[in-house]
Amino acid sequence: MRLSSLFLLFLVVPLLEIYLLIKIGGIIGALPTVAMVVLTSVVGSVLIRQQGFSTLQRARQGMQGGQLPAMEMLEGVGLLIAGALLLTPGFFTDAVGFLLLVPPLRRRLILNLLRNAVVVQSRPQGRGPRGGDSNTFEGEYWDDDDPRIR
127-147: per-residue pLDDT in tens? Answer: 555 555 556 666 776 667 766
Instruction: Say if CB 63 and CB 69 are below 8 A apart.
Output: yes
Residue 12: predicted pLDDT: 92
129 found inside a domain: no
9 found inside a domain: no
65 found inside a domain: yes
131 found inside a domain: no
87 found inside a domain: yes
Instruction: Say if CB 105 and CB 140 are below 8 A apart.
Output: no
In this structure, how many other beta carbons lie within 10 angstroms of the beta carbon of residue 93? Answer: 22
> Number of structural domains, the chain?
1
Backbone angles phi and psi of 27, in degrees to 5:
-85, -50
DSSP H helical segments within the chain, as ranges?
A: 3-28, 30-64, 70-87, 91-100, 103-115
Q: Which domain holds residue 46?
A: 14-115
Model confidence pTM above 0.75? no
Residue 18: closest CA among 94, 97, 91, 98 = 91
Query: How far does CA 84 lie from the centroid of its chain?
Result: 10
Residue 69: closest CA among 79, 80, 57 = 57
58-110: per-residue pLDDT in tens? Answer: 999 999 998 888 899 999 999 999 999 999 999 999 999 999 999 999 999 99
106 found inside a domain: yes
7 found inside a domain: no
66 found inside a domain: yes
